[in-house]
């Protein structure tokens, strides 16, 4: 997921930098100076993980994943109980069973244990795939918001805080909360992931 976020951030940065290249039609004159009062070019950063954790759509996506995870966990708990019962039965009645019946019970136990392990792996892969899909949708939506806010505020560059390896960032350069507010205004409940 971290690699994917880095790719998204690079794509956003490239889109922002491509928007200011001379190959495109000349951009209208900026409403505010593109250079901060101290003479530095305007650069900002965003904590994408915080956007995902605090935006309404990000929270809705996490809640949907948690519901699905709970359903899967109930099924896995049922499998665990079934295996425990079978193991207890083998321990209690194992001495009374014929060697063939004992071997049969042991094979049945091993088969069910392998099936449960496979199911757990399948559930994990399914959850990862759903998480990736839901979060990708949120990130695609928020990338447009980032681009608009950056253009409105005349930033030349917006980077992702974690992926860019920022060692210091002034709070004035942090657009995260503004992006969350803007994203939540633009993407009310209609853009939130649907419940299953």
How do residues 74-110 score in pLDDT, each as one tens digit?
A: 999 999 999 999 888 888 887 788 889 888 888 999 9
pLDDT tens for 18-39 read 333 343 333 433 444 445 555 5
Instruction: Check residue 37 and give its pLDDT.
Output: 58
Query: Do residues 43 and 126 touch, judged by C-beta distance below 8 A?
Result: no
Mean pLDDT of the chain: 75
Indicate whether 120 pLDDT > 60.
yes
| Mean pLDDT on 109-117 | 92
Instruction: Check residue 23 and give its pLDDT.
Output: 38
Distances (CA, A) of 14 to 59, 121, 155, 157: 28, 37, 13, 9
Indicate whether 73 pLDDT > 80.
yes
Of 7-11, 96-100, 142-146, the poorest mean pLDDT is in: 7-11
Identify which of 133, 193, 181, 175 has the alpha carbon closest to the alpha carbon of residue 4.
133
**pTM, to two decimals:** 0.57
Class of domain 2-191: alpha beta
User: Residues 125, 129, 130, CA angle at the centre, nearest 5°?
Assistant: 120
């Amino acid at each position: 997921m971290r690699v994917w976020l880095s790719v998204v951030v690079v794509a956003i940065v490239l889109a922002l930098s491509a928007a200011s290249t001379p190959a495109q039609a000349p951009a209208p004159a900026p409403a505010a100076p593109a250079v901060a009062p101290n003479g530095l070019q305007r650069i900002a950063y965003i904590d994408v993980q915080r956007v995902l954790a605090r935006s309404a759509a990000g929270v809705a996506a996490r809640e949907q994943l948690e519901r699905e995870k709970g359903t899967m966990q109930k099924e896995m708990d049922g499998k665990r109980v079934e295996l425990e019962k079978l193991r207890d039965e083998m321990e209690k009645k194992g001495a009374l069973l014929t060697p063939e019946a004992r071997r049969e019970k042991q094979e049945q136990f091993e088969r069910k244990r392998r099936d449960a392990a496979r199911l757990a792996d399948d559930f994990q892969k399914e959850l990862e795939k759903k998480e990736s899909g839901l979060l990708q949708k949120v990130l695609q939506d928020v990338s447009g918001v980032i681009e608009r806010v950056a253009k409105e505020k005349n930033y030349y560059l917006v980077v992702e805080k974690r992926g860019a390896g920022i060692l210091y960032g002034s709070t004035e350069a942090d657009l995260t909360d503004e992006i969350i507010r803007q994203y939540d205004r633009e993407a009310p409940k209609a853009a939130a992931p649907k419940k299953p």
